[in-house]
């Protein structure tokens, strides 16, 4: 058994089913590239087997000192990225409200002007020589995590003739089981572009969109240094163990 990054006894129950009316559906025609990339046939449903209940774990040994500091992890010595300095912090919890410790979070984003360091991004806003745009960390014993970055800018994209993405940070999160695997995007409180974005509007429920909107967190700011936003991530909860006396779990 690998190092789990946590002292908690591993749970082995099946995960709560996903509410696919809460998530965006596969086909959201306002987001044009979903049209040819969405399955047309129904998904095959089955309760989790060990293949979905188990999942990889990642240890602290893989992390570098600056992995959770996007202001400095690509910058030249003594320099730092340009932009609004922020701390993003929150907890990874499951649907039962329980912290999910020892899980890998990865983030990526554009720079303060909305430009990605990627050869497919041809936006005329310039690259920042001191900003790469990737970071990662592991959640702590209570599921808490934090990283430091600059606030990304909005950017135009070729969907409608005048579509702009709201400022956002992409998140990739592992849970304790592969069935909890999730990629999502974090938006910023008060951004008027959120409600116009076809990717955001693929989500039907306003409350679900609000669940992806980080709130200004003045208590976590560092005075004279960085503002802070709070963003909690909720992963699927799980039933009690498959391998205890009830074969089916409960």
Site for another protein in 204-243 (CB under 8 A): 207-209, 211-212, 233-237, 242-243
Considering only 87, 88, 150, 179, the residue that binds another protein (CB under 8 A) is 179
Contact residues for 238 (Cβ-Cβ < 8 A; gap 6+) = 11, 13, 14, 15, 16, 94, 96, 177
Q: Both tokens of residue 245?
A: 């006396």
Applying CB under 8 A, what is the total number of residues that bind another protein?
97
> Is residue 208 helix, strand or coil?
helix
Considering only 146, 184, 191, 239, the residue that binds another protein (CB under 8 A) is 184
Considering only 182, 193, 215, 216, the residue that binds another protein (CB under 8 A) is 182
DSSP calls for 147-166: EEEEPPPPEEESSSTTEEEP
Cα distances (angstroms) measured from residue 62 to each of 8, 141, 174, 241, 249: 21, 18, 15, 30, 35
Q: Is 95 in the site for another protein (CB under 8 A)?
A: yes
HSE (side-chain half, CA atoms, 13 Å) at 153:
16
Q: Is 80 in the site for another protein (CB under 8 A)?
A: no
- What's CA 104's distance to the chain center, in Å? 10
Q: Is 142 in the site for another protein (CB under 8 A)?
A: no
CA proximity to 92, closest of 110, 74, 106? 106
To another protein, the closest distance from the beta carbon of 224 in angstroms equals: 27
CA proximity to 231, closest of 179, 180, 188, 181? 188
To another protein, the closest distance from the beta carbon of 49 in angstroms equals: 6
To another protein, the closest distance from the beta carbon of 219 in angstroms equals: 22
Range 99-138, binding another protein (CB under 8 A): 106-109, 116-121, 132-136
Residue with Cβ nearer another protein (16 or 216):
16
Considering only 54, 127, 140, 201, the residue that binds another protein (CB under 8 A) is 54
**147-166 mask for another protein (x: CB under 8 A)?**
--------------------
Cα–Cα dist 130/117, whole Å: 11
Considering only 128, 176, 228, 230, the residue that binds another protein (CB under 8 A) is 176
Which residues form the catalytic set?
116, 155, 165, 168, 170
Considering only 22, 59, 129, 195, the residue that binds another protein (CB under 8 A) is 22
Q: Both tokens of residue 218?
A: 């003045």
CA angle 189, 204, 88 (to 5 degrees): 25
Residue with Cβ nearer another protein (58 or 85):
58
């Amino acid at each position: 058994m690998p190092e789990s990054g946590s002292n908690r006894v591993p749970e082995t129950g099946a995960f709560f089913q996903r509410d696919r009316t809460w998530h965006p559906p596969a086909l959201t025609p306002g987001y044009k590239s979903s049209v040819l990339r969405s399955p047309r046939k129904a998904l095959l449903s089955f309760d989790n087997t060990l293949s979905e209940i188990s999942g990889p774990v990642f240890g602290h040994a893989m992390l570098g000192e600056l992995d959770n500091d996007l202001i400095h992890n690509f910058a030249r010595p003594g320099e730092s990225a340009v932009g609004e300095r922020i701390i993003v912090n929150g907890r990874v919890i499951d649907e039962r409200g329980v912290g999910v410790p020892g899980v890998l979070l990865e983030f990526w984003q554009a720079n303060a002007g909305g430009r990605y360091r990627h050869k497919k991004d041809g936006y005329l806003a310039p690259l920042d020589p001191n900003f790469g745009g990737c970071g990662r960390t592991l959640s702590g014993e209570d599921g808490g995590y934090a990283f430091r970055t600059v606030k990304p800018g909005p950017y135009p994209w070729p969907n409608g003739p005048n579509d702009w993405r709201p400022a956002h940070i992409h998140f990739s999160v592992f849970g304790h089981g592969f069935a909890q695997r999730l990629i999502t995007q974090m938006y910023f409180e008060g951004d008027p572009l959120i409600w116009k974005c076809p990717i955001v509007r693929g989500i039907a429920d306003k409350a679900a969109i609000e669940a992806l909107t980080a709130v200004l967190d003045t208590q976590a700011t560092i005075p004279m240094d960085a503002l802070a936003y709070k963003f909690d991530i909720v992963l699927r909860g799980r039933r009690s163990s498959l391998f205890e006396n009830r074969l089916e779990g409960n």
